[in-house]
Amino acid sequence: MALNKEEVTSIVGKFGKNEKDTGTSEVQIALLTERINQLTEHCKQFKKDKSSQRGLLILVGQRRRMLKYIQRTNLEKYRSLIKELGLRK
């Protein structure tokens, strides 16, 4: 269920400053979003998998806190990130 290496490198390449930039908030939010999308599909298929549902809620909470941090520090970066990831519709 975890992201494979190719997916991580493509996300880091798109949102990071360079290919080794995995620590910035934008990259971490993009990685969390991809993982949340995968877990959402898994939970739709396996409705009784409560441990995956709990993990999904934990990841959503982490992403929400990180988005709140970016919104507080850099509003323009927050808006562009939301638009690129297609979150708030």
Fold category of 5-85 in CATH: Helix Hairpins (1.10.287)
Question: If you average pLDDT over every residue of the chain, what do you get?
Answer: 93
Number of Cα atoms under 13 Å in the Cβ half of residue 89: 1
CA distance 78 to 5: 26
How much of the chain exceeds pLDDT 70, in percent?
Answer: 98
Q: How many CB atoms lie within 10 A of CB 70?
A: 19
pLDDT, position 58: 98
Q: State pTM to two decimals.
A: 0.92
* Tens place of pLDDT per residue across the chain (89 aa): 688 999 999 999 999 898 888 899 999 999 999 999 999 999 999 999 999 999 999 999 999 999 999 999 999 999 999 999 999 86
